[in-house]
Chains A and B, each alone.
Chain A
Amino acid sequence: MIRFDQVHKRYANGREALAGVSFHIGSGELAFLTGHSGAGKSSVLKLIALIERPTRGQVFINKQSTAGIKPRGIPQFRRQIGVVFQDHKLLHDRPVADNVALPLIIAGVPKREIDKRVRAALDQVGLLGKERSRPLELSTGEQQRVGIARAVVAKPALLIADEPTGNLDPDLALEIMRLFKRFNEVGVTVVIATHDVHLIDQVGGRRIVLGDGRVTDAGGPGDLGAP
């Protein structure tokens, strides 16, 4: 599903975030990217979502090299990936339902179909009945679940999340992680960047450890880590 091949990433300010990263995440896997802050977790996710391009090396998504995707093709490419952000990135002037519906509206799904799928996605994250609420009326944990509903509403085969529990207390964080795990159990490939090793231990899943822009431990496909 995802393959990094000797990927280097140097930003315009000269900082080298990734210095030859290689790993492979198979279809249907649940993988955690971990490591101290600045180790390159976010850079890996940005390269997957084509927010950034590698300076050297290649990234393959679904056996396709992202180098071959032109700027015009990026929107179409991103529609196949669900992305969850630490700061949710919700539209605060729109109700929850509109936020969740956004990827479907962009993809041109008919209105009736949108309503149905938005309710299904909200049901999956336990927010049914909150359709008309504004994001700011919700708790942080609920806002994050809206973000997850938006990421999964278009039924992507790949779900990536950047520190999705960064702002949550431990109980809520575990709840969110279990939510990701449930999506993984129905076949979605899930990649989560988190520094919270304790949380990974609780949920279980493959661990790819980054340090100073390199992979220090790739875990291994199928490795479920500590129970």
Chain B
Amino acid sequence: MNVQAYFARHAQTLVGSLGRIVQQPFATLLTMGVVAVALALPLFLDVALQNVRSATGNWNEAFDLSVYMDKRASAARVAAVAKQLRQRPDVAAVRVIPADQALQEFRENSGFGKALDALSDNPLPDTLIVTPTLSASTPGGTDALKLAVTGIDDVQTVQLDTEWVKRLRAMLDIMRWVVLLTAGLLGVAVALIVGNTIRLDILSRRAEIEVMKLVGASDGFARRPFLYSGIWYGLGGGVMALILVAAAAALLARPVDRLAGLYGSKFHLQGLGFTAGAAVLLAAIGLAWLGSWLAATRHIRAIEPT
């Protein structure tokens, strides 16, 4: 058999198997739909996880140190401490928020304006917001910085809000494994679903396979159209899964933007992206092919003319 005839025959089988599954649109869509749902579930989880990850990753300000000065420290002393901190190699920037300004901001943002008026003097201290350099923005780096700043005279308290970020990161790591395990299980489900569809398909075409074997078809030849059907199921299911995920992302984009806006963040919901989408399609086709290969190999071998 020459190469051209070989490819022509494969192309013919490929198109032929598509024609055959299109002849039963309801059953085909049902199988593809089940495949799509099985694929979409881990994809939803993954997209959600990636977004939480990138959202918290943007919050570098969480690593800023809030340095509260002693209320008795003079303005000059506050400026001197700020200058001293700016000279440190692990500090990128220092912003000074004088007590008056802090009170003003608090009055505007908190809604406690009336209550604050009742106070005779400003309860807030002068504050320094210290941003570590990028290289020092590690849990260890910020801890060391915190220790050093705490030792400076006239510094009352140093607050570092990293604990919750650390916990969130740990939870996200666990979630990542949950997503991977879910994806693995549902991947197996995709192979089984397609395999079972192919099995039924083979049983319903038993007579035809018998005839083909009688006139000299090998198992491989009889199996080929079923493998191509499997590939179509995988491709169709994969495309439907991507549509589901894209639709969900589009649906959630506005509420997420609104939520991000409330937090003063410019965060936007990210979809799957081209590379990930292509990978999903390849994985769907691969799993469906595997399922149909297992089913077809087993059941076609079992059919012998009598």
Contact = CB atoms under 8 A, between A and B. Distances in A.
Task: Name the residue in B2, B9, B214, B215 with the highest tally of chain A Cβ atoms < 10 Å from its Cβ.
Answer: B215
A83 to B, nearest CB: 6
In terms of DSSP, what is the predominant structure of the interface of chain B? helix
B305 interface: yes
Contact of A106 (B5, B207, B217, B304): B217
Task: Name the residue in A51, A72, A103, A106 with the highest tally of chain B Cβ atoms < 10 Å from its Cβ.
Answer: A106
A177 interface: no
Contacts, number: 56
Interface stretch (A13-21, A27-35, A107-115): A107-115
Contact of B217 (A75, A77, A83, A89): A75
Contact of A75 (B8, B207, B208, B213): B213
A161 B290 CA distance: 40
Interface in A81-128: 83, 85, 89-91, 102-103, 105-111
Interface string B289-306: 000000000000000111
A109 B306 CA distance: 27
A72 B213 CA distance: 12
A105 B216 contact: no
B9 A103 contact: no
A24 interface: no
Given A51-B306, A111-B5, A106 B221 contact: yes
A107 B216 contact: yes
Interface string A48-71: 010100000000000000000000
Contacts of A111: 5, 8
Contacts of B221: 75, 106
A89 B219 CA distance: 19
B9 A79 contact: no
Nearest to A103: B215
A10 interface: no
A90 B207 CA distance: 9
Interface string B75-99: 0000000000000000000000000
Interface residues of B, number: 23
A19 to B, nearest CB: 21
A78 interface: yes
Given A51-B305, A51-B306, A106-B221, A89 B214 contact: yes
A150 B215 contact: yes
A108 B215 contact: no
B149 interface: no
Nearest to A114: B5
B242 to A, nearest CB: 33
Contacts of B217: 75, 106
B26 interface: no
A76 interface: yes
B1 A83 contact: no
A75 B216 contact: yes
Task: Name the residue in A79, A85, A105 with the highest tally of chain B Cβ atoms < 10 Å from its Cβ.
Answer: A105
Interface of B: 1-2, 4-6, 8-9, 207-208, 210-219, 221, 304-306
Given A75-B219, A108-B9, 6 more contacts: A51-B214, A75-B216, A76-B218, A85-B214, A106-B217, A109-B5
Interface of A: 49, 51, 72, 75-79, 83, 85, 89-91, 102-103, 105-111, 150
Pairs A-B, 5 closest by C-beta atoms: A108-B1, A79-B216, A78-B216, A75-B218, A103-B215
